[in-house]
Each structure stands twice: as C-alpha cells, then as structure tokens.
C-alpha cells in the first residue's frame, strides 16, 4: 500500500478522517500482525511502535448491545427519545478488534438477547452541521 493517505499519524483525527472518507481503518503492528481499531500508535502488549495502516473488512458479529431510551445530547439532537430509542453495541470485527458503534436496521423497541452473535457489517452515517459534519460508524445486520 503506497497511497499518500497512508502517511497519516495514528491519531483520533486520522481515524475520523478515514471514516469521513468511508473507510474503517486501524493500525497493524508490523512485527506481530496485531490489529488495533481504533488505531493505536503503541502496541500495549509488546510496546512495538512499527505500525502500518490497514483497512478493515467491516464484517463482524454483535458482542453486546443496549437500546438507549435516555440518550446523549448528540443522539437526542439526531432525533432519538424515550419513544424512539436507539441501539448502541459492541461489535467484534472479524480481524479481532472490537469497536463501539450505533446499530441500525434492527427494531430497537423489540430487542432480543439472542441478537448477540449476529453477523453485522459496517457503514457510515453523516451527522452535524457545517464544519461539525462528520461520519459516524454504524453497523447493520447482514
């Protein structure tokens, strides 16, 4: 991979920039192959710092979730409330790392504990106005 964008530092801002471009990216320790999403500049297990960017498939399974009735201000601004709860979850990516994301495409008013383990895939939604507009990672059932 030699494209110019792969020179970015392993920061929160770079991760967000990739998401704004529609890509879910992580860092990979060249020495061990361990992948980190969101990207980490230091491998906490080996202290290795020789990292490279890697694009994730976006495929994973739901590891834990909730239907949030009393939401964050940002989610209330996005139109969710007590009568229209949203789903938030932890997704285990097929490459190993886990991430937190909103879960869409399932009925938040009929949650089922057996959704855990369900295959999901990543997509992005854009929210916010003007300079604050940015992409948010979400997952949908496959």
Partner 1 sequence: MKKLNRGVAVVGTGMSQFGAFPEKTTRDLFVEAFQDMRASVGRGLDPTDIEAIYIGNYSSDLFEGQGHTAPIMADWVGLAPRPATRVEDACASGGVALRQGVLAIASGLYDVVLVGGIEKMSNLPIAGVTDALATAGDVSFEIPAGFTFPGFYAAIATAYMHRYGASADALLRVGIKNHENGKLNPKAQFQARIADLMAGRIARAQQKGLPVPSWQTEMDFLHDDGANPYIAWPLRLFDCSPVTDGAAAVLLVSEEIARRFSDDPLYIIGTGQASDTSALHDRPELTALRAAQLAGQQAYAMAGVTPDDVKIAEVHDCFTIAEIVATEDLGFFAPGTGHEAAEEGLTSRQGPKPINTSGGLKSKGHPVGASGAAQVVEVWKQMHGAAGERQVERDVDLAMTHNVGGTGQTCVVHIYERR
Residue 8 or 98: the one with the smaller Cβ distance to partner 1 is 98
Token pair 């909103």 is found at 102
Number of continuous H segments (helices) and E segments (strands) in the chain: 2, 8
Smallest gap from residue 86 Cβ to partner 1 (A): 5
Residue 3 or 44: the one with the smaller Cβ distance to partner 1 is 44
Alpha-carbon distances, residue 46 vs 24, 33, 50, 73, 97 (angstroms): 24, 12, 11, 38, 16
Smallest gap from residue 24 Cβ to partner 1 (A): 12
- Give contact residues for partner 1 (rule: CB under 8 A): 12, 38, 63-76, 80, 82, 85-91, 97-102, 111, 113-114, 116-117, 136-137
Residue 1 or 113: the one with the smaller Cβ distance to partner 1 is 113
Rounded CA-CA distance 92/72 in Å is 23
């Amino acid at each position: 991979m030699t494209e110019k964008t792969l020179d970015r530092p392993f920061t929160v801002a770079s991760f967000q920039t990739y998401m704004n471009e529609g890509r879910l990216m992580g860092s990979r320790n060249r020495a061990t192959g361990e992948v980190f999403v969101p990207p980490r500049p230091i491998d906490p297990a080996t202290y290795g710092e020789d990292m490279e960017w890697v694009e994730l498939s976006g495929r994973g399974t739901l590891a834990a979730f909730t239907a949030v009735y009393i939401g964050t201000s940002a989610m209330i601004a996005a139109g969710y409330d007590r009568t229209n709860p949203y789903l938030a979850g932890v997704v285990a990516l097929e490459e190993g790392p886990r991430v937190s994301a909103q879960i869409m495409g399932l009925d938040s008013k009929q949650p089922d504990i057996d959704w855990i383990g369900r295959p999901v895939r990543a997509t992005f939604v854009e929210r916010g106005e003007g300079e604050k507009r940015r992409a948010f990672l979400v997952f949908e059932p496959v």
